[in-house]
Structure 1
Amino acid sequence: MELNNSTLHYFIMNQFVELGYAPKIDDIIYHFDVSKFEIIKALQTLQEYHGVVLHPKSSEVWIMHPFSTAPTNFWIESKKGSWWGNCAWCSLGVAALLNCDLTITTTLGGEAKQVVIEIINGQIKNQNMFIHFPIPMVNAWDNVTYTCSTMLMFESEAEVNNWCEKHSMNKGDVQPINNVWEFSKVWYGNHLNPNWVKWSVEEAKEIFKRFELQHSVWNMPQKVGRF
C-alpha cells in the first residue's frame, strides 16, 4: 500500500474506531511494509500537516483528532467500545464518526461536577449544555493539546463567566451544544475517508460561516494552506 498522509491517517483513525487506541510504530511498519525510518518520517510529515500529534520523544501517536491515546476529561462509551476525546468539540466529533448511541462523561469546566451527555438516535438529550471556546482558532495549533484542554462544557453562559474570572481565563465563544454537534458532523465527517485531506483555511472559514460561528475566536487570516 502506498504510504502518504491520507493512507497513514486512515490506518490510524480506523484502528482508533475499531480498537479504541492507536497503532504502535511497529504495527504501522508491518501494515505498510516499509522501514522504521520511512514510517517516522511519514508520521512527522503528517504532524506538520496537522493530521496527528506525536509523543515528542518517541514519535508514537499521542492524538489524532478527535481521539486521544492518553486519559482526558472526556470519556465516550457505546456498545461498540470506549474512547477518550480531547475536548468537548472532539468528543462530539467521536460521536459523529461512530454514528451510534453513546454517552460522553465529563465534568463541568474541568472541575468537580460530573455530567453524562447522551446521544440517542443521533439526537443529544442534554440540550441545556454549552461549550466554551476560549482560544482563537488562528492560535489553535500553537499548542493544540492545551487548546483542546480548554474546550469544556458548562450549563450556562453565566457559569462560563464565573469560570473565566475564577481561573483568569479569557472568555471566548460560548456555543449551544446542539450547534456544536451539527458542526462536528461536518467537521469530522470526512475523517474516516481513505482519501482524507485536511481542511484548508478557506474551507474551514466556510464551515465556520455555515454554522454562524461569528465570534472573533473563529476569525482566520486570509492565507493558503491547511487549518
Structure 2
Amino acid sequence: MSGVDPDALARVHHAFIRPMLDTGRMPTRERAADELNMSLGELDDALAALAGIHGVVLDPHDGEPWVMHPFSATPTATWVEHGDRGWWAPCPWCAFGIAGLKQGKATIHARLGGEHEPVVVHVQDGRVLETDLVVHFAVPPRDAWNNVHRFCASVLLFRDRDAVAAWCARHGVAEGGTLSVRQAWELGRDWYARHADPDWRKWSAVQAATIFERTGLSGPFWHIPPADDPF
C-alpha cells in the first residue's frame, strides 16, 4: 500500500503480538499507544492501515484488535497450551504457528471436524506426535480474506481422509485440500515464524507460494496467483 510506512506498521504489530505471546492477553489500544508514545488517534490510523494489509482484524464496534494471526483475542474452538500459558487460535494452522513461536512442548486442544469429539495434538521437540491425523481446508487459502472468519472456522482436524469425505457429505461442503498433520505443523511453523519479530512484514504472494510449495502443497487448490499486495 503506497503511503504506508512498513516499519511503523511493524512496530504497531509488535506492540500487540509480543505481549500476547508473552502473557496470553491482547493489550488494549490505550496501553499500546502509551508504549509506542502515540496518541490514540495515531494508533487507530496505524491499526486501520494494518487491517488494510490483513495484518489485523479489528472489532467493528470498538476498534480493538480482535484477531492478529495466529492469535484470537476472544474464545475459539482451538486452544494452545504451553506451560502455564494458553492462547485461543483461529484454527489449527494458527495453533501450529503459536506452537512454533513458543517452541518447546505445546498441546493443542480442538474438536474433530468442529463437532463433538475432542482431539489433542502434542508438539514436542519440533515434531507432532499424533502423526495419523489430517487437516482439511474447505476454502482455498487465496480466498481467505474474502471472509477470514469463515475461512479459519473451516480449517479443521480429522482422523483421516475418509472422515473428511464423510464430513463434507454430511454438511454439504465441497472437499477442498487435505494435508497431513505433519504438513500442517510445518506450514504453521514456517508461516508464522517471523510474526513476533520487531521487523515483521506480511508475506508477498511469491513468498507465500514458496512456503506452500516447500510444505508439499501443490495443485489448483493451493495455487496463489502473483500479486503486488501482501498476501
Shift of 1:183: 2.0
Q: Which residue of 2 aligns with 1:50?
A: 54
Q: Which residue of 1 aligns with 2:117?
A: 113
Q: Which residue of 2 aligns with 1:72?
A: 76
1:39 aligns to what SS in structure 2?
Answer: helix
Structure 2 unaligned blocks of 5 or more: 1-5
Q: Is the 8 A contact 2:24 2:87 kept in 1?
A: yes
Q: Does 1:138 align with 2:147?
A: no
In the TM superposition, structure 1's runs of 4+ consecutive aligned residues that sit over 6 Å from their partners are: none
Counterpart among 204, 212, 217 of residue 208 in structure 1: 212
Q: What letter is aligned with 2:161?
A: E
What are the residue-to-residue correspondences of 1:170-181 with 2, within 5 Å? 170-181=174-185
Q: What letter is aligned with 2:63?
A: S
Shift of 1:186: 1.3
Q: Is the 8 A contact 1:107 1:113 kept in 2?
A: yes
Counterpart among 87, 90, 96 of residue 91 in structure 2: 87
Q: What letter is aligned with 1:168?
A: G
Shift of 1:217: 2.1
1:4 aligns to what SS in structure 2?
Answer: helix
When the two structures are superposed, what TM-score results if normalisation uses the length of structure 2?
Answer: 0.94
Shift of 1:125: 1.1
Identity of aligned pairs, percent? 33
Give per-residue Cα distances to partners, 1:78-107, cap 9 Å, x unaligned. 214011111011100110011120210110
In 2, Cα distance between the equivalents of 1:90 and 1:217?
Answer: 19
Q: Which residue of 1 aligns with 2:39?
A: 35
Q: What letter is aligned with 2:70?
A: P
Q: Which residue of 1 aligns with 2:3?
A: none
Q: Is the 8 A contact 2:7 2:199 kept in 1?
A: no
Q: Which residue of 2 aligns with 1:63?
A: 67
Q: Which residue of 2 aligns with 1:6?
A: 10
Q: What letter is aligned with 1:24?
A: T
Give per-residue Cα distances to partners, 1:2-54, cap 9 Å, x unaligned. 97111111111101111102111111121112211111111110011111110
Q: What letter is aligned with 2:180?
A: P
In 1, Cα distance between the equivalents of 2:206 and 2:228?
Answer: 7
Shift of 1:220: 1.6
Task: Give the superposed CA RMSD.
Answer: 1.3
When the two structures are superposed, what TM-score results if normalisation uses the length of structure 1?
Answer: 0.96
Higher deviation after alignment, 210-219 or 55-64: 210-219
Q: Which residue of 1 aligns with 2:192?
A: 188
Q: What letter is aligned with 2:25?
A: Y
Q: Does 1:155 align with 2:159?
A: yes
Aligned length: 226
Counterpart among 198, 201, 225 of residue 221 in structure 1: 225
2:79 aligns to what SS in structure 1?
Answer: strand
Q: Which residue of 1 aligns with 2:27?
A: 23
